[in-house]
Structure 1
Amino acid sequence: MARKTALLLLPLLALAPRALAGDVIALEPLGPAPSAETGALVDESAHLWFVELASPPTSEGSSLATVRAEKSAFRAAAAKAGVRYSERFSFDALWNGVSVSVSPGQLGRLARIAGVKAVYPVETIAMPEPAAVSEPDLVTAIAMTGADTAQDELGFTGRGVKVGVIDTGIDYDHVDLGGDGVPRANSPFTGSRVVAGWDFVGEAFNADSTSPTYDPALVPDAYPDDCAGHGTHVAGIIGANGGARGVAPDAQLGAYRVFGCEGSTSADVMIAAMEAALADGMQVVNMSIGSAYQWPQYPTAMAATRLVNRGVVVVASIGNNGANGLWAAGAPGLGEKVIGVASFDNTHAMLPQFTISPDGTAIGYTNATAAPPAPHAGTFPMARTGTTTSTADACNPLAPGSLAGKAALVRRGTCSFYQKALNAQNAGAVAVVLYNNAAGRVSPTVAGTSAITIPVVAVSAAEGAIINSRLAAGSVDLTWTADLGSFPNSTGNLISDFSSYGLSPDLALKPDLGAPGGYIYSTYPLELGGYASLSGTSMSSPHVAGAVALLLEARPSTPSQAVRTILQNTAEPKLWWGNPALGFLETVGRQGAGMLRIDRAILATTRVEPAKLSLGESQAGPVARTLEVTSSADAPITYALSFVNALSVRGTFTQGFATSNASVSFGAATVTVPAHGSATVDLTVTPPTGPDRAQYGGYVVLTPEGGGEVYRVPFAGFVGDYQSITVLAPTSAGLPALAQLVGSSYELRRDGGTFTMTGDDVPFFLVHLDHPSRTLRLDVTDAASGKAWHTALAEDYLARNSTSTGFFALAWDGTTAAGTRSYTVPNGSYRVTVSVLKALGDPANPADWERWTSPVITVARP
């Protein structure tokens, strides 16, 4: 299913005190659902489809002749069946099938064509929105992961390693990326550090059908230049070498452009780019894009895993949907063998700054979107809007003229940023300084009906406190400057608020690990200023890809499937973002193994496999596992075995946190690994006693006697009955529901409806999925006799809706099938049952299915 989402911040509420050992203590939820049920319903249905054919792709042993013959047979069978579609891409190497555009009513018949294994939606993937500045700085981010040590002390720079970047292209004229610094249009990349590439889409391409600039036409060419900026920023994090210095400054780059200058791309374009990267001999591929709420079986995730099987290390962002709750991780990052990357905030932020009197203290800020940027000069008196919570928030109208000629200091909270800015503007303010009401920084928007015409900037809570205290003592002047400064970030080394939650719908442990992604500065297209500041898992993923280049330079014989193990073993878990002072570890389903430490990975002499433990549901009780510990050291090493729990988390759209009393017992207290040998560790994980239906996790810890590198293995599972989670959750709009398409809108037919079954006049079934579903079916019966007319549509591995008001629209064209036999139902009255099999459910167990049956549908063909 396809969707688009928006990021929202979750306000921090009061938290429970620190737990005693063995207790399970619930912490208060951290905010409301990101989309209230009173909000408008959002159609998240797909418009394009992947069609998977029967044989494996050529990367898994099928001949090219076989997979191409299957495509020819599919095309002929579709024509014979009267299925009208438009083919977009054909895939052979990493995925066997095609992507097509087809009307909703024909999807069922398309899926039933002989040789079709499955159909999947082609997700539409939005391009991240950047915020540009004019000065690069990657120093603090690189120090967080030990990449500075790997470069400066160990001497590794990624030399000789090829890293493919599937993104918006790369400005290969940029001097930091090997160009000559002269911006050109449609210039070849010969002579830069970009050694291969292709533009798959063209500048005008935009896959978002709701956008005014929607243009699905694919216009490929040989010039993967970047007119959007995101890909150049990503490439700089991997390997800039100049004004900015990336993680692997001597790595070679491949540029695979899958976005136009603005808007969105689609998942089928990504697979085409993956196949090109394989053909071009890339050793690492980074994808800082993906489809949220997916399964590991989604086509981009499957293609990426096959890419790893062919010797390419694949790194992908896990997603920026932290505000949209659990089970939000994206494909291809969910791929079984892909390194799915979470984001941590940088310890410092390079920001524009103003100063305040009397001593010129520098205050870093971010400009609000939809407001004029702050000027680079000028001095103005400051004023507070109030000293109490209600007045400091400026959510009520202020006296006209009360802020005339002044820069207003306003506290975040209670109402929208726009309302605050509008009230201050109406009171005569010449600028607004918003200060946070919690740790960290925010990037506000003040978009609204009446335009905000004065600068609006945001500062941290600590900086707001400084200004507040000075205003309490006397007058304060604000002076705008053109300077940039590096400012400590109070959320540094904590998970970024936007970073998506796992686990995978099949309870696999995802994400795998994290890297700095919040407040990262890197290269940007020369035409757009040369450098920019962006935040996102888009920025953490290339940090890991660059680190892989360092590792492959240092250890060139490392198999692609071993790289993730090495990085996870040596990663460092971080504290919970909600209140780090409590000492709890961040949930495993959001940080994976923790922060990347590439210096430790390069120097590691021990490998622990498997590198993560996905424990499934807790209903079966304790879970036994065996770890294999292998050493390349010249002497035996004895490790003490222990474990530590991370926080548990539950809820889909609203998260609640709790401590965990899970325990890990070992067959022995220590394990001795012989020189250049292996040993095994038997362990048993006893799941926590609660809370029910929560994700839990922690870390098995191997500590060497006498000192040395500590190795860890993350574990995660689910407390209780996973199939007890409701999938077909009711909504205030009364979904599921029968609907009829009238113009461009759906009208509900709660008492049934009559359909001619021509064109778009077919019944639609609107469903909201609160949780990923293994299978969805539409089954048809005669309304009077109860005779079964078999299955109209069947889909596997369905994603959940992105918000509590999202829905998918499923159409029925009046045909059904049983086995290989197809039927066209005659005119008459019917009911359609929507059935969903829950994630990891047993198809033979009725309790693992949820069902809804429609009102009577009258088929009345002319």
Structure 2
Amino acid sequence: MLVQRLLVALLGVAFGASTIISSDPDVQAAISATTIPGAYIVELADAIDSDAFIDHLAREDGVEQISPRLNFKSSMFRGLSFNIRSSINSTQETEARIAALAQVKQLWPIEIIRLQDANITVTGKGKSLPERRRQANPYSPYPPHVMTQVDRLHAEGFTGAGLRIGILDTGIDYTHPALGGCLGPGCLVTHGADLIGDNFDGSSPPVTDSDPFDGCHGHGTHVAGIIAAKANDMVPGGAAPDVTLGAYRVIACNGLSSTDIMIAGLLKAYEDGSDIITGSIGDPSGWSEHPFAVAVSRIVAAGVPCTFAAGNEAGANYGLFSPAAPSSGDRVMGISSFDDAETVSSFTSWGPTFDLAMKPQFGAPGRNILSTYPVNLGSYAIASGTSMATPLVASVVALISQVRGTINPMELERVLSTTARPANRMSTEGVSAPGPVVQQGAGMVQAFDAAYASTTFNVPNLSFNDTSHFESEQTFKITNSGNKTVNYTFSHRAALSATTLVSGIYRSSEPDLFASHAILSFDPPTLEVKAGSRATVKVFAQQPIGLDAAVLPIYSGWILIDGESSDGSSALSLPYIGAATSMRNHTVMASDRMSLSRTDSPVNDIVPENAIFQLPAPAIHPEWVVPVEPESGLVIAPYAMPDQFLWLVMGSAEVHLELVPISANKSLAAAKDNGYGEKTLGNIAGYPQVYRKPIGWMQSFDGQLASGEWAPPGGYKFAAFALKLFGTRGRADNYERYDSPEFEIRYVAQAEE
């Protein structure tokens, strides 16, 4: 929902004690994620039993207590989550030891997820203006259903019967009379699970049961009504009223969740046989490789269509390249929101992904949507967001699946994309033109057209890439599955181009929009395709003229396909995107704004050059212990650690934070060339990190390296390396570099408890 921001870093990739910081105070207040101390998700090697792994881990040196949280026994992912208490010296060392076990494929810390209260209007027994109008004329169709052609499929008797939609959310108030009033066989909500419990506080283990009741939050109940509510004098019927629902409660009453709970809900929805999975949850990411996105992509590849909200972050320090994960995943349907006036909602998060994959895919009405709400919270409410558009698209997927007789995710994405209707926006220059594809996607879904499309394509969209990798000539295949010969004519409809950057290297939260666009031509410009035949079309593109490459402009538009046959004519469109710049030329790391601080400073005071840190000595190196010195001059108070502020202004697929011994350090002899022209002791624990989004964070250092070894006492500096966009891993000239001030580390005896 709008104003809610759910930070989902499912299977988070960052180890170590890091605190997320945003340059925008509103974002900092709205989004918060905290790693749960001693809580982990592990993916197990093949044939390893979860119970056997827990038993083995419990016998490891230093492990005092281990408590299982959730068990993952899906064909998509095998593993478990657990809490561990140990006497091992540090979090980093604990993680390093677990990750090194032969039974472990991958290990991730678990993050707390906070879902803020929604900005919703509870209508209760009253009636909204649209509803009073509807009751004055009971035969007036519901506008969002008209705009998406859902009403036309309803008129033909298609209601989603026989299909199961799994909803990842806060659960459903299945006692609601408009939602069937019951749970189980014969009910609207036939199945589901509570993966979290009522009293989850972030640190406590989830309490699971088979009852997904939502009586305290409302988000999931609102989503369910959009899909399948039974019409009454308060609420219009759902878009797919005869589907059955699976409710997977992954968010507690207080808006809290965690990454292991999210993955458990996703996997259970899949294993329960959901035909379609939908979720109005996400984390501004920009990466198709985000772990949650990858997990959902696996399920799509297994044949289950998945619709996830693009996000509501436009204007909140998240400009272009901010589609929420998992909507950012490959072949995951990312959903945008449209207003009643059929313009894209201003809050819809912008794509594309950092590898220039088109996001979002398409959208539906999502502003001021009336739907069901928990009975004890008022029964009905109006809410806005891509959260509301997403279940409507999931319903459309069900309807066209019923018509076409397939739930093949690729086929459904293609027909929805090429039949969607683009919406207009006003440019910065005051010109009304189609809005950028990278915010609205292909346009608003048209259920009837998609259901009966007899002309189909082998791709849902095209990407011309950037100027350094410009794919100026591309092809697509067109299939006429009808029973008449069709003559096709190809033309071009350009969208407004959008800028990414402002003030040099920093992203704009409000992109400027310009009418400059690419030039397209086609070979052949017209084409006759007989019934049941396929043909290939070549597309030739020329880069836009007049766009400033320094602001990383993204251009887009649609290839229009007009088909004429003896049965009439039809119009389809194939969306495309491209970057009028070289992605690799753009700065990813704000080195001039990065600094070295200390962990005991509440305001991140910058430490002087050659500051001396007195760190708790690792238990395995008592010989390093020296007497504690009081703070004075360059000497930092004991037990305060170096705290490095890192800031990415664009995403980076790989970030290193390596420890460099300075010339007087005895460790210099042990340093090795890191491949980027520097001799280092390697990454500190928790690095390298992969697929980081643009954000700032503090990274503390307790002396442990990624190898599990400890840095000896001496003088050092940090060297951060961030892979450029479209960069090649391992090539020194493809990384940006930052060097911290030099500092010294000493080890002192552990503080007495």
Q: Tell me which interval the TM-score lies in, with the shorter structure as reference length.
A: 0.7 to 0.9
Partner of 2:451: 602
Could you tell me whether the CA contact under 8 Å between 2:427 and 2:496 is conserved in 1? no
Cα shift readout 1:708-736 (whole Å, capped 9, x = no counterpart): 22111111121212122222225xxx742
Q: From the superposition, tell whether residues 77 and 568 of structure 1 become closer, same or farther in structure 2 (CA, over 3 Å).
A: farther
Partner of 2:121: 131
Partner of 1:666: 522
1:829 is the counterpart of 2:690: no
Give runs of aligned pairs for residues 770-785 of structure 1, distance below 5 A.
770-785=649-664
Could you tell me whether the CA contact under 8 Å between 2:6 and 2:115 is conserved in 1? no
Cα distance in 2 for residues equivalent to 1:545 and 1:580: 36
Could you tell me whether the CA contact under 8 Å between 1:756 and 1:861 is conserved in 2? yes
2:597 is aligned, of 719, 729, 739, to: 739
What is the TM-score of this pair, normalised by structure 2?
0.80
State the secondary structure of the residue aligned to 1:236: helix
Give runs of aligned pairs for residues 758-777 of structure 1, distance below 5 A.
761-777=640-656
Cα shift readout 1:481-536 (whole Å, capped 9, x = no counterpart): xxxxxxxxxxx211112110011122110000011101111111111111110000
1:814 is the counterpart of 2:671: no
1:613 is the counterpart of 2:472: no
1:142 is the counterpart of 2:165: no
1:225 is the counterpart of 2:213: yes
Q: From the superposition, tell whether residues 108 and 613 of structure 1 become closer, same or farther in structure 2 (CA, over 3 Å).
A: farther
Q: From the superposition, tell whether residues 756 and 343 of structure 1 become closer, same or farther in structure 2 (CA, over 3 Å).
A: same
Partner amino acid, structure 2, of 1:236: G
State the secondary structure of the residue aligned to 2:96: helix
Deviation at 1:310, TM superposition (A): 2.1
Partner amino acid, structure 2, of 1:681: V
State the secondary structure of the residue aligned to 1:250: coil
Cα distance in 1 for residues equivalent to 2:463 and 2:40: 29
Cα shift readout 1:786-836 (whole Å, capped 9, x = no counterpart): 54212224244333346xxxx21223332325xxx6532222222121111
Partner of 1:195: 190
Partner of 1:653: 508
Partner amino acid, structure 1, of 2:199: A
Could you tell me whether the CA contact under 8 Å between 1:290 and 1:318 is conserved in 2? yes
Deviation at 1:858, TM superposition (A): 2.2
Q: From the superposition, tell whether residues 100 and 301 of structure 1 become closer, same or farther in structure 2 (CA, over 3 Å).
A: farther
Q: From the superposition, tell whether residues 173 and 35 of structure 1 become closer, same or farther in structure 2 (CA, over 3 Å).
A: same
Partner amino acid, structure 1, of 2:197: G
Q: From the superposition, tell whether residues 700 and 217 of structure 1 become closer, same or farther in structure 2 (CA, over 3 Å).
A: same
Cα distance in 1 for residues equivalent to 2:409 and 2:660: 51
Partner of 1:537: 386
Partner of 1:853: 739
Q: From the superposition, tell whether residues 106 and 645 of structure 1 become closer, same or farther in structure 2 (CA, over 3 Å).
A: farther
Partner amino acid, structure 1, of 2:702: D
Deviation at 1:99, TM superposition (A): 5.0
Give runs of aligned pairs for residues 16-27 of structure 1, distance below 5 A.
none
Give runs of aligned pairs for residues 45-84 of structure 1, distance below 5 A.
46-48=34-36, 53=43, 65=47, 68=49, 72=53, 76=57, 79=60
Give runs of aligned pairs for residues 100-179 of structure 1, distance below 5 A.
105-106=92-93, 109=96, 113=100, 115-117=104-106, 119=108, 122=111, 124-127=113-116, 129=118, 130-134=120-124, 135=127, 137=131, 139-152=142-155, 154-179=156-181
Structure 1 stretches of 5 or more lacking a match?
8-33, 56-62, 181-187, 208-214, 348-491
Cα shift readout 1:135-167 (whole Å, capped 9, x = no counterpart): 475811111100011102x22011111011110
Cα distance in 2 for residues equivalent to 1:544 and 1:43: 26
Q: From the superposition, tell whether residues 281 and 45 of structure 1 become closer, same or farther in structure 2 (CA, over 3 Å).
A: closer
Partner of 1:791: 683
1:507 is the counterpart of 2:356: yes
Partner amino acid, structure 1, of 2:726: L
Partner of 1:205: 200
Partner of 1:717: 578
Could you tell me whether the CA contact under 8 Å between 1:741 and 1:747 is conserved in 2? no
Which fold has the larger relative contact order, with Cα–Cα distance below 8 Å and residues 6 or more apart in sequence?
1
Partner of 1:402: none
Deviation at 1:566, TM superposition (A): 1.3
Give runs of aligned pairs for residues 274-423 of structure 1, distance below 5 A.
274-323=266-315, 324-345=318-339, 347=340
Partner amino acid, structure 1, of 2:335: V
Q: From the superposition, tell whether residues 40 and 174 of structure 1 become closer, same or farther in structure 2 (CA, over 3 Å).
A: closer
Partner of 2:479: 630
Q: From the superposition, tell whether residues 39 and 198 of structure 1 become closer, same or farther in structure 2 (CA, over 3 Å).
A: closer
Could you tell me whether the CA contact under 8 Å between 1:204 and 1:260 is conserved in 2? yes
Percent identical pairs in the alignment equals 29
Partner amino acid, structure 1, of 2:587: T
Could you tell me whether the CA contact under 8 Å between 2:310 and 2:335 is conserved in 1? yes
The alignment yields a C-alpha RMSD, in angstroms, of 3.3
Cα distance in 2 for residues equivalent to 1:622 and 1:666: 14
Deviation at 1:83, TM superposition (A): 12
Aligned residues: 655
Q: From the superposition, tell whether residues 729 and 99 of structure 1 become closer, same or farther in structure 2 (CA, over 3 Å).
A: farther
State the secondary structure of the residue aligned to 1:742: coil
Q: From the superposition, tell whether residues 340 and 519 of structure 1 become closer, same or farther in structure 2 (CA, over 3 Å).
A: same
Deviation at 1:322, TM superposition (A): 0.9
Partner of 1:238: 227
Q: From the superposition, tell whether residues 201 and 777 of structure 1 become closer, same or farther in structure 2 (CA, over 3 Å).
A: same
State the secondary structure of the residue aligned to 1:860: strand
Q: From the superposition, tell whether residues 797 and 40 of structure 1 become closer, same or farther in structure 2 (CA, over 3 Å).
A: closer
State the secondary structure of the residue aligned to 1:249: coil
1:680 is the counterpart of 2:680: no
Cα distance in 1 for residues equivalent to 2:28 and 2:304: 43
Q: Tell me which moved more, 852-861 or 69-78.
A: 69-78
Cα distance in 2 for residues equivalent to 1:174 and 1:294: 37
Partner amino acid, structure 2, of 1:815: Q
State the secondary structure of the residue aligned to 1:573: coil
State the secondary structure of the residue aligned to 2:238: coil
1:516 is aligned, of 351, 354, 365, to: 365
Could you tell me whether the CA contact under 8 Å between 1:629 and 1:678 is conserved in 2? yes
Q: Tell me which moved more, 308-317 or 849-858.
A: 849-858
Cα distance in 2 for residues equivalent to 1:720 and 1:548: 36
Deviation at 1:316, TM superposition (A): 0.5
Could you tell me whether the CA contact under 8 Å between 1:77 and 1:113 is conserved in 2? no
State the secondary structure of the residue aligned to 1:576: strand
State the secondary structure of the residue aligned to 2:212: coil
Cα distance in 1 for residues equivalent to 2:241 and 2:606: 57
Cα distance in 2 for residues equivalent to 1:202 and 1:686: 56
Deviation at 1:754, TM superposition (A): 0.6
Deviation at 1:622, TM superposition (A): 4.6
Cα distance in 2 for residues equivalent to 1:658 and 1:52: 47
1:701 is aligned, of 560, 564, 568, to: 560
Partner amino acid, structure 1, of 2:439: R
Q: From the superposition, tell whether residues 544 and 781 of structure 1 become closer, same or farther in structure 2 (CA, over 3 Å).
A: same
What is the TM-score of this pair, normalised by structure 1?
0.70
Cα shift readout 1:340-393 (whole Å, capped 9, x = no counterpart): 000001x2xxxxxxxxxxxxxxxxxxxxxxxxxxxxxxxxxxxxxxxxxxxxxx
Q: From the superposition, tell whether residues 569 and 497 of structure 1 become closer, same or farther in structure 2 (CA, over 3 Å).
A: same
Partner of 2:245: 253
Structure 2 stretches of 5 or more lacking a match?
8-21, 85-89, 132-140, 502-506, 619-638, 672-679, 749-753
Cα distance in 1 for residues equivalent to 2:494 and 2:81: 44
1:748 is the counterpart of 2:570: no
